[in-house]
């Protein structure tokens, strides 16, 4: 007992001393004052990015009001707006918040220098319209949008700072104005935060020739902004500087600085995008709005006793990622020939009430057929006269049960007619070769593809809107499958349908109405 008491006498004080816990974290205060380009104070959110904890999330503080922060070094990211069009002033600087003290910082937009970007051939100030954007980043990271400007045709100002932790990412687009001819230009990069002019050597650029065709797009009656955006992980990633629009159809050659670029449709009715890597002196071509838009990418899936199908791919570009935002779809599921479930008001159109994905229970092992019909419509809006790919059908026949966990055996068919003009019309009096791509991809995470091998491909054409169908000859090629449409009379509307049968007897039918027109 004496030994135990002696031990407790030693241990207890140590335990009691430990109850005080670790020392409190050092805390200070940051007080930011923001002045606009007229010298007037204003309140705005400011990002304080911790430098002593790389990768830590930015702290948000409000200018004009002191905020408590852990002591340490921070990169402050700021911006102010004024003018019409909006001019943006970007700032970035490093401050140290000390324990028990208030660090006062004033950011004065009047110190900003206009960001000027031009080519060494002097594109700016000519017949080109410039759009420019910038972002201040910390240690090469795109931390947030607090110091980003998508100013468009406004001006961007930069408050100079030579701290190596902060830098400026920029994007400049130059588009020939109005009916002016000539190449467009796009330049992006990351430079020190000095506000010094940036000069882009044209000899170092590559070219991207992009064609926007008329026909399937809902935007063809108006204009399309062919938007180049830098990709990768740099400070300039995904900046937005909208170029001048073009009237569909059009072809635009854009000279860009080397790197990865995404070209996309900056509109609302439909969307498409393609990413390409540009090299100095290299060239690449892109094509958007190519017929035939139809069912692509998304296949049905069966998991945990339910079937699902995403209808947003029922009207989609066969080549590049993209699709239509005016889809109205109806899906019906049959079991052993009997209708067991239906869904209406599906799709991507703002007029529909349901989701894009159709789901239904799979309660028994049986032969199932899923039929989906999609058409393009928005309440109160008129779609372009002459629009192609106005409606589509997809039908999937397969076996499934409550314990199935698979994408059923199915192959959607992409039709790729050759020799169409910028209006997606074929030459009158000539046969049209139509290569086919069989599309089979996993469309739901964790759901594997059920093994399937194609046995037969059949293609049918209609010239009366799908009331009657005529078989076409299908051949096996080195690239896959192909068919040919015989010569047609002028202004004939062609609808196409393909039926793919696998070795297990499962079938998929893909149909596109008003796929293209003979000129």
Peptide bond into 403 cis (omega under 30): no
Mean pLDDT, range 57-63, rounded to an integer: 89
107 and 122 belong to one structural domain: no
| 23, part of any domain | no
pLDDT for 1: 39
Residue 291: both structure tokens together: 């017929």
| 156, part of any domain | no
Q: Nearest-CA neighbor of 232 among 275, 264, 193, 203?
A: 275
In this structure, are strands 87-97 and 156-158 parallel, antiparallel, or unpaired? parallel
pLDDT for 3: 37
| 21, part of any domain | no
245 and 322 belong to one structural domain: no
pLDDT over 60 (residue 316): yes
Q: What is the CATH number of the domain that holds 225?
A: 2.60.40.10
For residue 15, with 0-12 CB atoms within 10 Å meaning exposed, 13-18 middle and 19 or more buried, which class applies? Answer: exposed
495 and 355 belong to one structural domain: yes
pLDDT over 60 (residue 148): no
230 and 337 belong to one structural domain: no
Q: Nearest-CA neighbor of 498 among 477, 518, 469?
A: 469
Query: Do residues 345 and 352 touch, judged by C-beta distance below 8 A?
Result: yes
pLDDT for 84: 64
249 and 342 belong to one structural domain: no
360 and 239 belong to one structural domain: no
List pLDDT tens digits, range 334-348: 999 999 999 999 999
Query: Do residues 161 and 75 touch, judged by C-beta distance below 8 A?
Result: no
Cβ-based neighbour number of residue 129 at 10 Å: 17
List pLDDT tens digits, range 70-129: 999 999 999 888 876 678 899 999 999 999 999 999 999 999 999 999 999 999 878 899
Query: Do residues 195 and 154 touch, judged by C-beta distance below 8 A?
Result: no
Q: Which residues pair with 92 in a beta bridge?
A: 77
List pLDDT tens digits, range 351-376: 998 899 999 999 999 999 999 999 99
List pLDDT tens digits, range 14-45: 333 444 445 557 899 999 999 999 999 999 88
pLDDT over 90 (residue 266): no
The residue among 177 and 279 whose pLDDT is bigger is: 279
Query: Do residues 75 and 48 touch, judged by C-beta distance below 8 A?
Result: yes
CB-side exposure of 286: number of CA atoms within 13 Å? Answer: 27
439 and 312 belong to one structural domain: yes
| 7, part of any domain | no
Tell me the residue range of the domain where 228 lies.
Answer: 117-132+162-288
| 88, part of any domain | yes
Q: What is the CATH number of the domain that holds 85?
A: 2.60.40
Task: Read off the pTM.
Answer: 0.85
d(CA 260, CA 357): 33
In this structure, are strands 366-376 and 327-335 parallel, antiparallel, or unpaired? antiparallel
List pLDDT tens digits, range 470-505: 999 999 988 899 999 999 999 999 999 999 999 999
d(CA 232, CA 1): 72
pLDDT category of residue 441 using cuts at 50, 70 and 90 = confident
pLDDT over 50 (residue 291): yes
314 and 403 belong to one structural domain: yes
205 and 128 belong to one structural domain: yes
- Per the structure, how many domains does the chain have? 3
Mean pLDDT, range 508-514, rounded to an integer: 98
Mean pLDDT, range 205-233, rounded to an integer: 87
pLDDT category of residue 144 using cuts at 50, 70 and 90 = low
pLDDT for 24: 55
């Amino acid at each position: 007992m004496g030994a135990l008491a002696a031990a407790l006498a030693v241990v207890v004080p140590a335990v009691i001393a430990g109850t005080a816990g670790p020392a409190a974290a050092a805390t200070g205060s940051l007080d930011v004052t923001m002045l606009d380009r007229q010298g007037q104070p204003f309140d705005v959110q400011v990002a304080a990015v911790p430098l002593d904890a790389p990768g830590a999330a930015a702290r948000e503080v409000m200018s004009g009001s002191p905020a408590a922060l852990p002591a340490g070094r921070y990169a402050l990211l700021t911006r102010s707006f004024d003018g019409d069009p909006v001019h943006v002033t970007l700032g970035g600087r490093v401050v140290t918040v000390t324990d028990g003290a208030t660090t006062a910082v004033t950011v004065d937009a009047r110190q900003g220098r206009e960001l000027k970007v031009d080519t060494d051939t002097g594109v700016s100030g000519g017949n080109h319209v410039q759009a420019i954007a910038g972002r201040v980043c910390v240690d090469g990271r795109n931390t947030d949008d607090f110091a980003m400007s998508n100013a468009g045709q406004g001006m961007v100002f930069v408050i100079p700072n030579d701290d190596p932790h902060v830098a400026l990412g920029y994007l400049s687009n130059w588009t020939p104005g109005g009916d002016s001819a000539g190449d467009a230009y796009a330049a992006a990069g990351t430079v020190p935060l000095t506000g010094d002019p940036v000069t882009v050597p044209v000899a170092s650029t590559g070219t991207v020739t992009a064609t926007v065709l008329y026909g399937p797009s809902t935007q063809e009656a108006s204009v399309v902004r062919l938007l180049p955006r830098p990709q990768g992980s740099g400070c300039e990633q995904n900046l937005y500087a909208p170029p001048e629009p073009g009237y569909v159809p059009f072809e635009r050659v854009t000279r860009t600085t080397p790197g990865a670029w995404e070209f996309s449709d900056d509109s609302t009715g439909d969307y498409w995008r393609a990413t390409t890597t540009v090299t100095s002196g290299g060239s690449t071509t892109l094509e958007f709005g190519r017929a035939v838009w139809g069912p692509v990418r998304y296949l049905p899936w069966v998991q945990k006793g339910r079937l699902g199908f995403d209808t947003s791919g029922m009207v989609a570009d066969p080549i590049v990622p993209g699709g239509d935002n005016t889809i109205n779809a109806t899906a019906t599921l049959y079991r052993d020939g009997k209708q067991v479930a239906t869904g209406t008001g599906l799709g991507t159109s703002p007029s529909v009430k349901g989701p894009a994905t159709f789901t239904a229970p799979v309660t028994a092992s049986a032969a199932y057929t899923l039929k989906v019909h999609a058409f393009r419509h928005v309440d109160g809006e008129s779609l372009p006269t002459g629009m192609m790919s106005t409606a589509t059908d997809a039908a999937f026949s397969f076996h499934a049960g409550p314990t199935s966990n698979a994408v059923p055996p199915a192959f959607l068919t992409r039709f790729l007619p050759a020799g169409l003009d910028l209006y997606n019309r074929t030459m009158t009096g000539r046969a049209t070769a139509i290569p086919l791509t069989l599309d089979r991809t996993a469309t739901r995470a964790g759901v594997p593809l059920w093994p399937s091998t194609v046995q037969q491909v059949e293609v049918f054409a209609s010239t009366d809107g799908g009331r009657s169908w005529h078989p076409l000859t299908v051949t096996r090629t080195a690239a896959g499958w192909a068919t040919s449409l015989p010569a047609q009379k002028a202004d004939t509307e062609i609808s196409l349908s393909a039926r793919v049968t696998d070795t297990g007897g499962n079938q998929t039918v893909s149909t596109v109405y008003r796929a293209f027109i003979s000129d």
